[in-house]
Structure 1
Amino acid sequence: MLATAGHVDHGKSTLVRALTGRDPDRLAEEKSRALTIELGFAWTRLPSGADVAFVDVPGHQRFVATTLAGLGPSAAVLFVVAADQGWQAQSSEHLAAVRALGIIDGVLAITRCDLADPERVAAVREEATGRLAAAGLSAPACEVTATTGAGLDGLRVALDDLVARMDSPDPAAPVRLWCDRSFTIAGAGTVVTGTLGAGTLRTGDRLTLLSVDHQREVVVRGLHSEDVAHDAVGPVSRVAVNLRRADPGEVGRASVLVTPGSYAVGRVLDVVLAPVDAWGEGAAAAGERPGSGRSGREAAGPPTSATLHVGTAAHQVHVRPLGLDHARLTVEVPLPWWVGDRAIVRDPGSRRLWSVRVLDVDPLPLRRRGAARRRAEELGAHDSPSDFRLRSRSAEYPVVLARLGLGDPAIGERVGEWWVDPSALEQWQKRLARHVREHHAAHPLSQGVPVSEAGHALDLPDHLR
């Protein structure tokens, strides 16, 4: 599953049409204006026999939210630069989004080569290749003319190579399908479409539907992929899911279908937050500690109120900085998360982007003086994610760790149904032993310390009481 990227009017849709024989522009306005406005979808079979699907995104900066919805679920990109126009403003903005989402593989297509002389084509190819490489994107370049078919065979070979080197997703993984379209079919009901990046969907599956205002169980009534009905669809696939028990009015692009109980559903996140400058070559990616030489533009953090883009969804988010490199995000609606998930924070006013990597979901409130500073120090530590979660909460259920996408902690001790941080356990044991001694000294005839009194003496954190 590849998303297109590149400046407006550089031939992304024309190239997809030439590769697949399908027009990704389906709206009358798109056809009349020769401008992609909504996400378009097409697919084809490559020479090796592998199937590849494309999400065609708008290039115009007015539709950046739609562009991010197309890039969000994609693992690789078909980056398009026109030979006659060269690198442009939205080329940089799209590359910033690609980097912010952690996409590191793809193919570079230099299009409209019939409109430029060979020297110009070579210069554009060199500049574009250099910019992509500087952003960490490995993308072999192909020179094509979509209107004549020149170079398309070589591009298909490059796409075949890309598909072959990409990691194979786990068909047994939990499903998380970010919906990009929804509609109704007479006699069938509600249908949603999306990109299945991992897991397998089957007719009859019971899923949890998370939408802006609702969370409910739905049932898969039918499945289509590439215009063919299926009983089961595995990754990576474009899929249309016919749902039972879903109200058409509550399903839209902000909706997501998940395997029940397999993700941590929450509104509050602690994250690594790093600026991604669309106009510079040295922007930091989330997870890399920025150097002291950041420009004023890069150093300025996001506004308190911004837009969070994850999967195909875009939601308002409150940003609370925690030091230079971390922040606490509060999203307007609950969403399904795993630790390590990537997202983007965008300032609609300045059009700046920040790369987000999730470190914790539903973290403890910052109520006491100095709590924000201490939390920033904790987030900057280098524990494994499981150990970090356990240290920050003293004790945790294994099922909660699984919902965060985490394994068993290396440092934990199993006590009944809990994983417990050894340092917290040692502290609680000492407190309880001291309290028992003091109790028996004061009440020598007592039969023992009541359980409720012992729990109070432990001075457990609020979330464990």
Structure 2
Amino acid sequence: MKHIVIGTAGHIDHGKTTLIKRLTGIETDTTREEKERGMSINLGFAYVDLPNGERIGIVDVPGHEKFIKNMLAGVAGINLVLLVIDANEGIMPQTKEHMDILTLLGIEDFIVVLTKVGAVDEELREIVYEDIQESLKGTPLEQAPIIETDAVENIGIDKLKEVIMLKVEQLSTDIVEAAPRLNVDRSFSVKGFGTVVTGTLLDGSLKIGDELIAYPGEIKTKVRNIQVHETNQELAYPGQRTALNLTKIGVDEVGRGSVLTTKANVEPTWMLDTKITCLNLPQNQLELWDRVHLHIGTKEVRGRIVPLGVDKILAGEEGFVQLRLEEQVAVKSGDHFIIRSYSPVVTIGGGVVLEANPVKHRRFNEETLASLKIKEEGNFEDLILDYLNNKIKQFKTAKEIAEYLNANLDLVRDTLDDLIVKGQVFPVSHTFLGMEEVNRSLVEMEQVLENYHKKYRLRQGMSLEEFRSKFGQFKGKELEAMLKYLKEEQLVQVTGSLIKLTDFEVSYNSYQLKEKERIEKVLKQSGLTPPSVEEILADSPNAKEVLEALNGVSIYYLNPETIIHMDTFNHGVNFVKQHITENGSLTLGEFRDEMDTSRKYAMMFLEHLDELGITKRVENNRVLA
């Protein structure tokens, strides 16, 4: 089932509120000030039942210039707009501004409603009708139906409902099945219930009991109750006008401009990468550090303009801009916005968010401009690859990718499958990283090993534990998959607990070679009664480095203070295994006699085998583990 929200737009006193009351039976001017002044100041909400039984939400937005920021808050989440024009006056400046704003916000479906036709003679009505058609040529409203109505005399209301019904049936509501997101346009307190907020639910569904975060303050709350069209519901669907009763949060903590969503679905930001269209009006242009009002979702903040790739954006032009904000916002890529000049406040243009959490860019950086071009063009494979190769340095799940791109999860999964087949995405279990980023990380891994080999020329390699610690952004399975890839490409070798570049070989100079021969000879002759490490190192500047190189090759550390020749270690292990296999067990004395050593070293050796899991002690004997 579609969930559609209709908005009104038009000049002050052109009959929007009266029209809605006739369509719905609901009075949207609710405050005493609104009634006394005869104009809408705040947003009004209603719903209309169409001839096919479908119930559609309506947002009545104020038309007066002084309240245009309320109008901007009201259009968030609207699918279809009724552009209201008084048959006595025709298109007015406010009408044109509303048309510009709605077009910049990406709204494509309109119905032009000519109001108050009962008070206009037929000749004037025809003139106004033709003038409207002429004014709409070349705009997204050119093909919009024009319906003549009079709410007071009940003229054309049924026809308008039928046209709305047909439009709704034709609308494509491509709602993303992702985490729920609601831009709060109104917040108030109800005695006995607490905080209530309203807005159009974007992206996902909500149910009672769901835990949400109010951004940008990042305040935790929970849904106590849900109303849709003044009726309690267990579940709210994407695209519905929704009222939420929230727990553990005050009205002042979740006012207009707040965003309610799940944890980590959005991230508060001070900057936005955008594509902006500057309206073709003589006074309009955007230059470096121009201060502007940004209207996005239901929030208004001030910010400054940083054009990217150009010095300025002139009237009628479009370009990439990084917006540097004075307050944080919580938005997503693909969100539309309006910018208005700082003073006097007039609409300059608007656009779409290409990157919701960017870093600061150099203004004429080719890589940055290329990345923004990909995001602007919207090729889905390119968008995923841009994210997985340039935005992040860690593996992401399909769900995380879908939430970042504000895209359908099934589409993301299908596209990832295609990219994996093409060799452009590296999968590990249920996570993914772009192959370009993987290759950059692999080069970094090789560089880490190369630097290690240069620093420790006689070591056989870096410990795997130390190597893994250098790449903490990757989880265990992910890092192991990348190591496996390096091994399959014969770039690294892993031996025991050490890793090294495949082409690395230990190379001794003449002094080190002499020291190597001395150490190996001493340890081979001493068997399991070796000199201490301290004695080996005594008065020899090369001994420590040589010992590190021989570790695991020709010498073996029983503990940090005790080393033996590798032949001695292997002989001891082989004797223990064979003796226990033939006799069932081994005593300390039997091992001591075989190795011609003392009780101290025999005990040290056997306890080390216990630690390795080769043997275990049973009373005073050893058996195989």
Pairwise same-fold verdict (TM > 0.5):
yes
Residues 19 and 151, structure 2, Cα contact 8 Å, conserved in 1? yes
Q: 1:353 and 2:348 equivalent? A: yes
Secondary structure at the aligned position of 1:380 is classed as helix
**In the TM superposition, what is the alpha-carbon distance from 1:24 to its structure 2 partner?**
0.8
Give the counterpart of 1:422 among 406, 427, 435.
435
- The whole-number CA distance in structure 2 between the counterparts of 1:433 and 1:235 is 48
Residues 176 and 196, structure 1, Cα contact 8 Å, conserved in 2? yes
- Which residue is equivalent to 1:238? 241
- Which residue is equivalent to 1:293? none
- The whole-number CA distance in structure 2 between the counterparts of 1:48 and 1:403 is 34
Shift of the 200–132 alpha-carbon distance from structure 1 to 2, 3 Å rule, reads farther
Residues 353-392 of structure 1 correspond to what in structure 2 (within 5 A)?
353-366=348-361, 372=365, 374-381=367-374, 384-392=382-390
Higher alpha-carbon deviation: 387-396 or 177-186: 387-396
Higher alpha-carbon deviation: 64-73 or 404-413: 404-413
Residues 182 and 252, structure 1, Cα contact 8 Å, conserved in 2? yes
- The whole-number CA distance in structure 2 between the counterparts of 1:226 and 1:433 is 61
**In the TM superposition, what is the alpha-carbon distance from 1:251 to its structure 2 partner?**
2.1
Shift of the 205–121 alpha-carbon distance from structure 1 to 2, 3 Å rule, reads same
Residues 407-446 of structure 1 correspond to what in structure 2 (within 5 A)?
407=412, 410=419, 411-414=424-427, 419-430=432-443, 432-433=445-446, 436=449, 440=453, 443-446=456-459
- Which residue is equivalent to 1:289? none
Residues 307 and 346, structure 1, Cα contact 8 Å, conserved in 2? yes
Residues 284 and 348, structure 2, Cα contact 8 Å, conserved in 1? no
Higher RCO (CA-CA < 8 Å; seq separation 6+): 1
Shift of the 417–153 alpha-carbon distance from structure 1 to 2, 3 Å rule, reads closer
- The whole-number CA distance in structure 1 between the counterparts of 2:294 and 2:303 is 6
Higher alpha-carbon deviation: 249-258 or 162-171: 162-171
**In the TM superposition, what is the alpha-carbon distance from 1:17 to its structure 2 partner?**
1.1
Q: 1:224 and 2:227 equivalent? A: yes
CA offsets, 1:401-452, max 9 Å, x none? 3331253664332368864443444455456546746764775421214679
* Aligned residue identity for 1:380: K
**In the TM superposition, what is the alpha-carbon distance from 1:345 to its structure 2 partner?**
1.8
Residues 57 and 70, structure 1, Cα contact 8 Å, conserved in 2? yes
Q: 1:22 and 2:26 equivalent? A: yes
- The whole-number CA distance in structure 1 between the counterparts of 2:446 and 2:23 is 73
Residues 99-178 of structure 1 correspond to what in structure 2 (within 5 A)?
99-132=103-136, 134-137=138-141, 138-168=143-173, 170=175, 172-178=177-183
* Aligned residue identity for 1:193: T
Higher alpha-carbon deviation: 65-74 or 311-320: 311-320
* Aligned residue identity for 1:359: L
Shift of the 442–101 alpha-carbon distance from structure 1 to 2, 3 Å rule, reads closer
Consecutive unaligned residues in structure 1, runs of 5 or more: 280-295, 461-465
Residues 206 and 218, structure 1, Cα contact 8 Å, conserved in 2? yes
CA offsets, 1:301-331, max 9 Å, x none? 5863212111211112232111241111233
Residues 100 and 276, structure 1, Cα contact 8 Å, conserved in 2? no
- The whole-number CA distance in structure 1 between the counterparts of 2:293 and 2:465 is 46
- Which residue is equivalent to 2:193? 188
- The whole-number CA distance in structure 2 between the counterparts of 1:457 and 1:22 is 64
- The whole-number CA distance in structure 2 between the counterparts of 1:133 and 1:452 is 69
Shift of the 442–131 alpha-carbon distance from structure 1 to 2, 3 Å rule, reads same
- The whole-number CA distance in structure 1 between the counterparts of 2:342 and 2:256 is 19
Residues 249-328 of structure 1 correspond to what in structure 2 (within 5 A)?
249-277=252-280, 297-301=283-287, 304-324=290-310, 325-328=319-322
* Aligned residue identity for 1:376: L
* Aligned residue identity for 2:169: A
* Aligned residue identity for 1:174: A
Secondary structure at the aligned position of 2:232 is classed as strand
- The whole-number CA distance in structure 2 between the counterparts of 1:52 and 1:5 is 17
- The whole-number CA distance in structure 1 between the counterparts of 2:372 and 2:157 is 47
Give the counterpart of 2:330 among 325, 336, 352.
336
Q: 1:98 and 2:102 equivalent? A: yes
CA offsets, 1:197-245, max 9 Å, x none? 442222111111125xx21221111122222222222243222211111
Secondary structure at the aligned position of 2:73 is classed as helix
Give 1 or 2: higher helix fraction.
2
Shift of the 432–124 alpha-carbon distance from structure 1 to 2, 3 Å rule, reads same
- The whole-number CA distance in structure 2 between the counterparts of 1:308 and 1:396 is 32
* Aligned residue identity for 1:188: F
- The whole-number CA distance in structure 2 between the counterparts of 1:207 and 1:309 is 23
* Aligned residue identity for 1:328: Q
- Which residue is equivalent to 1:56? 60
Residues 289 and 306, structure 2, Cα contact 8 Å, conserved in 1? no
Q: Larger Cα Rg: Structure 1 or Structure 2?
A: 2
Residues 178 and 403, structure 2, Cα contact 8 Å, conserved in 1? no
* Seq. identity, %: 29
Secondary structure at the aligned position of 1:363 is classed as coil
- The whole-number CA distance in structure 2 between the counterparts of 1:254 and 1:392 is 30
Consecutive unaligned residues in structure 2, runs of 5 or more: 311-318, 474-625
Shift of the 161–432 alpha-carbon distance from structure 1 to 2, 3 Å rule, reads same
- The whole-number CA distance in structure 2 between the counterparts of 1:361 and 1:82 is 40
Secondary structure at the aligned position of 1:379 is classed as helix
Higher alpha-carbon deviation: 256-265 or 64-73: 256-265
* Aligned residue identity for 1:262: N
**In the TM superposition, what is the alpha-carbon distance from 1:143 to its structure 2 partner?**
0.4
- Cα RMSD (Å) of the superposition? 3.0
* Aligned residue identity for 1:445: L
